[in-house]
Structures are given as C-alpha cells and as structure tokens.
Structure 1
C-alpha cells in the first residue's frame, strides 16, 4: 500500500504524532479507492462522504493499532458507515437530483478503479454495479477496490464470514450470468483472481 519508502509503522507513528506529511500520504494512498467505493455505491456526493470519512480517520488515528491491512479495513469500515448514514438521510429526505451517466468518466479514481475502467469502460462498470443488490455490490467492491480479505469485509459490513462468502458467490454468479460470454469466465482476470 505505502509507496513513500518508509515502513508502515513509521508512517503510522508519524501520523499519530501529528506529522502533516504522514496524514497527507495516508490520504493520497487511500482516498481514491474510498471515493471510488462510495461513487460506485451511488453516493450523490462521494467526495463529501470521503472527506467525512477521513475527518473521522484522522480524529481517531491516535487510538488505532494494527498493520496496513487493518488500517485499510478500519478506513473502509468508516466509509461504509458513512455510506449507510447517507442512505438513511436520503430515505428520510428524498433527493430529486439525478446522477448523470458520465459520473465515472468525469471524476478520476484510484489505481484499481482506473484499471477496471480502462479494461471494462465506465458504462460497463456502472451497469455491473447497478444489477447487484447493495449487499452483494458492497462485498464485490470491498474485495476489489479496497483489496480487503473476506474476514475484513465481514467486519466492515457487520456480517459473518460465511454470509460474506455467500454474498460474494451470488454476486459473482450474477455478474457471470449477465456479462460472461460462452467459454468466458468472469473473475479469471487479476482483479477477481483471489475472489473464488
């Protein structure tokens, strides 16, 4: 995850001590994937939710302990909670604004998102996400964009590992049936190789 050249414990310790460069580095490394996750989940203002997520991350960072994977899982847990809160707010106060079909094309994302968009095209990614129920979409996006393990996704979503595996399996089966060509197996590429 970290490309600054320093070991993760040093970057984390510097961020926990209040070093601006360390905060900035963590944000640069994680924000594109967080924003992509929120955007592909239909958040009307993904950048705003990402900002709220990182305010919470930086506020609570002093009490965090763990490795890089644990940090990613913790950040995406916060992002997922912000997303659920946003859904609840929208249910209470329905919005009439519509998100245009070109929303993904007009806003750059992280490396995983850029790779997926380059390979599949933004319209296909939107179409793929739109056909999945929210819980299956969350599992697939957390596994691909956030690069979380099944156990970490279960923690983020507040579900059991077996429930997450079932959601992943159903989501991939839906995507295969909708988008797979005869003789083609969706999930054979590098992005989904570890998801079986």
Structure 2
C-alpha cells in the first residue's frame, strides 16, 4: 500500500470506517509484528494486539499524515513493549505442560509456512542479538521502513544517535558469525581449473 492509499484508509479509519481500519491493519501489521518480535520475542502477537486496541480507541483524535500515523503506531507499540518487559520482570511466568486440549491445532500447510518464513524469522533472531538500542534502530529503519527522523521520534532520540545506532548495528550484523557463514555458503566454489586461476 503506497502513502496515498494509506492516507485514504487513515482518513476513513479516523471517521470510524471499520473497512478502512482493516486496510490500515493489513498494511502495517507485518512490519509491526517483525519489530515486536525483535523487542519482546514470543509476546509479539499479544503486544501487537494491545497496540491495535489502543490505536483503535485513540484514532478519532489522531491528526496527521500517513508517515505521522506510522510513527504514532510504532511509538504505541514500543510503549506497550516496554510495559510487557516490566510485567515479565515483576512476575515471571512459570512454564507448564500443555494439555492436549490446549495444544494449537495443526494444519496441512504449516510446514510450507514455516519454510516460507524461516528466512525472515532467522533474520529477526539475528537482529535480536544486537544491543537493545541498535536492534530497535535497525528494525525500525530496515524492517519497518521508517526514515531516520521518524525512527528518532519513536525512540525519543536525536536523529544523529539513530544514525550511529543503525550504522553500528548493521556493522555488527555484517560481522555476525551466522551471517558470514551464510555468505560463505552462498558463494560459488572456486573452480581451480578455470583459466583465471591457472598459473596463480
């Protein structure tokens, strides 16, 4: 969805049009979930739901552009994520075995879905190994597609600090052992019989 379509959906959603709100959700939910997976891990779905609930409640009072809406949405998400991290620190959940009734249903295409999403999940898990500031900056810039100024607004930091955190995060990712191993595995093997290597 381009910014013009997003502006139109936003205007409708502010007026209370549920179909327009659904368009906003479909356009922003994938990037929002990816961001939250890096920030809160397995709680991403719950925090995303809380984010959209708060967004729906407050949307009638929103004034601004599509870009402003994205900043507002990710700021709400970040605040909900901070709340979730505090909640977990105060009351860590005890792991327990699920009964058969509580186990999620499996579907025939589950394996296909896992394969399709494995690269994204792998990338998010690697980003999540970065220091918190760098992980957030890289996720908002690269995964959510916010620019430096928008990312700075969400994080409550200066644009220069966001640029530095992003640059350091991307440098760390480039040096990450798993990233380098994947790069090496994707390079074609050196052909020792090719004319270029003869006489070397």
TM-score, structure 2 as length reference:
0.72
Match of 2:70 among 72, 82, 87: 72
4+ runs deviating over 6 angstroms: none
Distance 1:12 1:124, change over 3 A: closer
Contact 2:37–2:124 (CA<8 Å) still a contact in 1? no
Distance 1:69 1:136, change over 3 A: same
| Structure 1 equivalent of residue 153 of structure 2 | 155
Match of 1:177 among 168, 175, 178: 175
The CA deviation at 1:69 is 1.4
**Within 2, Cα distance between the matches of 1:23 and 1:2?**
15
Is the aligned partner of 1:44 residue 2:42?
yes
| Structure 2 equivalent of residue 95 of structure 1 | 93
| Structure 2 equivalent of residue 19 of structure 1 | 17
| Structure 1 equivalent of residue 61 of structure 2 | 63
Structure with more helix by fraction = 2
Unpaired runs of 5+ residues, structure 2, are 97-109, 185-200
Distance 1:21 1:130, change over 3 A: closer
**Within 1, Cα distance between the matches of 2:14 and 2:50?**
18
**Within 1, Cα distance between the matches of 2:43 and 2:95?**
11
Unpaired runs of 5+ residues, structure 1, are 99-104, 109-113, 185-196
**Within 2, Cα distance between the matches of 1:74 and 1:60?**
11
| Structure 2 equivalent of residue 137 of structure 1 | 135
**Within 1, Cα distance between the matches of 2:20 and 2:36?**
24
**Within 2, Cα distance between the matches of 1:2 and 1:60?**
23
The CA deviation at 1:96 is 4.4
**Within 2, Cα distance between the matches of 1:180 and 1:70?**
37
Is the aligned partner of 1:123 residue 2:130?
no
| Structure 1 equivalent of residue 106 of structure 2 | none
Contact 2:148–2:163 (CA<8 Å) still a contact in 1? yes
Deviations along 1:96-120, one digit per CA (max 9) or x if unpaired, are 459xxxxxx98x7xxxxx7xx56x4
Length, aligned pairs only:
166
| Structure 1 equivalent of residue 101 of structure 2 | none
Contact 1:72–1:146 (CA<8 Å) still a contact in 2? no
